[in-house]
Amino acid sequence: MAVLTLDRWNLSIGDGQPLVVIAGLNVLEDLSMAIEVGRHLKAVTADLGLPYVFKASFDKANRSSITSYRGPGLEKGLQMLAAVKAELNVPICTDLHEVDQADPVAAVADIVQIPAFLCRQTDLVVATARATAAAGGLLHVKKGQFLAPWDCRAIVDKIGDATGGKAITILCERGVSFGYNNLVVDMLGIGRMKDLGVPVTIDATHAVQLPGADPRGNSVATGGRREGVPVIARAAVASGADGVFLEFHPDPDRALCDGPSALPISEAAGLLAQLKAIRSAVGGA
């Protein structure tokens, strides 16, 4: 039975627990939008009785083009995330990309995220694990698009070694790349990752990406199939996922980053109600 708890928020994730909703914006655009989206999602999840974590990136370091919007950066981005946390009284999830970001990010984020492409970067994983454990947070590691589910054992072991055995790891499924602008999610892999003794989430947003295939971007931007987000989310929760990672936007077609994969904020209530019902049907709280 794998259950992790954020004591300061009375939030638990894992077997037999309510479905955790990690949701917000792909990347911070401005503070008012972040608060608007976070407030809406907090209200929706409160109505459904689901634990909520606001997420947004301060820097999208892995972009197809050097001209793509990346976000406000570390210093301003963490200030914005801290403001959202204070205004809405919700836990925060954000990702990082460099070793020297570990301590400042862990000081603000309750769930610190390792991006998929960086999940095997030993120095980054070790530094982030130590900083997150010291701050009392949890570590959300996205499975690389190049890894089989059982290959995540090395990641879990590495984090355990770095923290002296302290359990802080949540693994995240986000699909496997076979090239040709596509990602495929193996739902059987969710159970295989849970067999490693950790909670598992589904990143249904990034699982529908079409890398390099946004027709508006001349093959230098990522496309997406947002209509597939609910399909993957529902299937993953039915397959045992303990949490969902979702990105919304007030106007996805005008989002500054990965709009084709984001859902309109107006669709949050309906989708999350479905996911809660599925979680209950398969044995979750």
Please say whether the beta carbons of 174 and 258 come within 8 A: no
Please say whether the beta carbons of 233 and 3 come within 8 A: no
- AA identity, residue 163: T
Active-site choice (55, 60, 142, 158): 60
Is 26 one of the catalytic residues?
yes
The helix or strand, by DSSP H or E, that contains position 52, with its residue range, turns out to be strand 52-57
Active-site choice (59, 95, 242, 258): 258
* Residues in CB range of 157: below 8 A, 6 or more apart: none
Q: Give the residue from 60, 51, 67 showing the smallest Cα distance to 12.
A: 51
Please say whether the beta carbons of 26 and 257 come within 8 A: yes
Spatial separation of the C-alpha atoms in residues 208 and 225, rounded to whole Å? 5
Q: How many CB atoms lie within 10 A of CB 95?
A: 25
* Counts for the chain of helices (H) and strands (E), in that order: 8, 15
Q: How far is CA 110 from CA 93, 94, 106, 127, 130, in A?
A: 6, 9, 7, 16, 14
Q: Give the residue from 121, 113, 218 showing the smallest Cα distance to 169.
A: 113
Phi and psi angles of residue 71, each rounded to the nearest 5 degrees, phi first: 120, 180
Tokens of 257: 């980053």
Is 186 one of the catalytic residues?
no
Is 181 one of the catalytic residues?
no
Active site residues: 26, 60, 258
